Amino acid sequence: MYTSVLEVMPEPIQVSQTDVLSELTTLELAQALAERLAIKAHNWHQLKSNRQKRALEQAGAALVFLLKEQPEEALSRFRQASGWLDRSLSAPPCPTHGDHRRSGN
């Protein structure tokens, strides 16, 4: 009698996204979110002035600091997020390009 491989293999374990997330601590979830929201180096020039992206990045970092019981750092990041949204902050010049004007020497 022939038995196929499929008949003897156990069924794959179905792991729901909720199960995976429930295994993580609140801090780990916040860190994952902050990492996801952080502007990556290869996107920096494109997104450095995007107020929504910058506010999200700062709010994600603030949440991590708050969960680590560092309220001053959290508040600083929340203020930066607010500044991006209320337009009181703007992107500084790119440090890798700087001011290319020549001196008179």
Residue that wins the pLDDT comparison between 3 and 104: 3
pTM value is 0.72
Question: Would you call 61 helix, strand, or coil by DSSP?
Answer: helix
Residue that wins the pLDDT comparison between 64 and 6: 64
Of all residues in the chain, the percent with pLDDT exceeding 90 is 62
> Which has the closest alpha carbon to 63: 51, 87, 46, 81?
81
For the segment 40-84, what is each residue's pLDDT rounded down to a tens digit?
999 988 999 999 999 999 999 999 999 999 999 999 999 999 999
**Domain-by-domain residue ranges, the chain?**
25-86
Question: Tokens at residue 102, please?
Answer: 């020549």
Convert 12-42 to b/e letters by CB count within 10 Å (16 or more is b): eeeeeeeeeeeeeeeeeebbebbeebebeee
